[in-house]
Amino acid sequence: MLGVSAVALMAGTIPLALAQGSTDAAAQEGATTTTPKPTKAERKAARKQARAKKNAELKKLEDAGYQPAQNDPNYPDKLQAAQKKAGVGAPASQ
C-alpha cells in the first residue's frame, strides 16, 4: 500500500508534458504548406507517363532481340547486348 501512495505522491510533483502552443503549431503548419502535395490527377498522369516510357524502352529492347519471357542462364549478357544494340539505357557495369 505504501508503494501505491508513494507513486501517487510523486506523480503530483512530476511536471507533465506541455501541449504545443498555438505559435508552435502555426510555425509548423506554415513550413509544411510551402510544398504542395500533388493532386491525384497529377500523380496518375506521372504514373501513366512513367509506364509509357518503360513500355517504349521494353519495346525497343524486344525489337533488338531481347526476350523477357525466355528462361535464359545468360540473362544479363543478352539484356546488355540488346541495350547496346538498341542504344537504350546504360548497360550495368561489372
**pLDDT per residue as tens digits for the range 37-79:** 999 999 999 999 999 999 999 999 989 888 887 777 777 888 8
Asked whether residue 49 is domain-assigned, the answer is yes
> Does the pLDDT at position 82 exceed 80?
yes
Is residue 17 in a domain?
no
Does residue 78 sit within a domain?
Answer: yes
Instruction: Check: CB of residue 37 under 8 Å from CB of residue 59.
Output: no
Whether 61 is in a domain gets the answer yes
With respect to residue 10, please indicate whether it lies within any of the assigned structural domains.
no
**How much is the pTM?**
0.47
Residue 2 lies in a domain: no
What span, in angstroms and rounded, lies between the C-alpha atoms of 76 and 58? 15
**Chain CA centroid to CA 86, Å:** 29
Full domain range(s) for residue 69: 38-89
| The C-alpha cell that represents 26 in the structure block | 502555426
| 30 falls within a domain | no
Count the domains in the chain.
1
Residue at 57 is within a domain:
yes
Three-class DSSP labels, the chain = CHHHHHHHHHHHHCCCCCCCCHHHHHHHHHHHCCCCCCCHHHHHHHHHHHHHHHHHHHHHHHHCCCCCCCCCCCHHHHHHHHHHHHCCCCCCCC
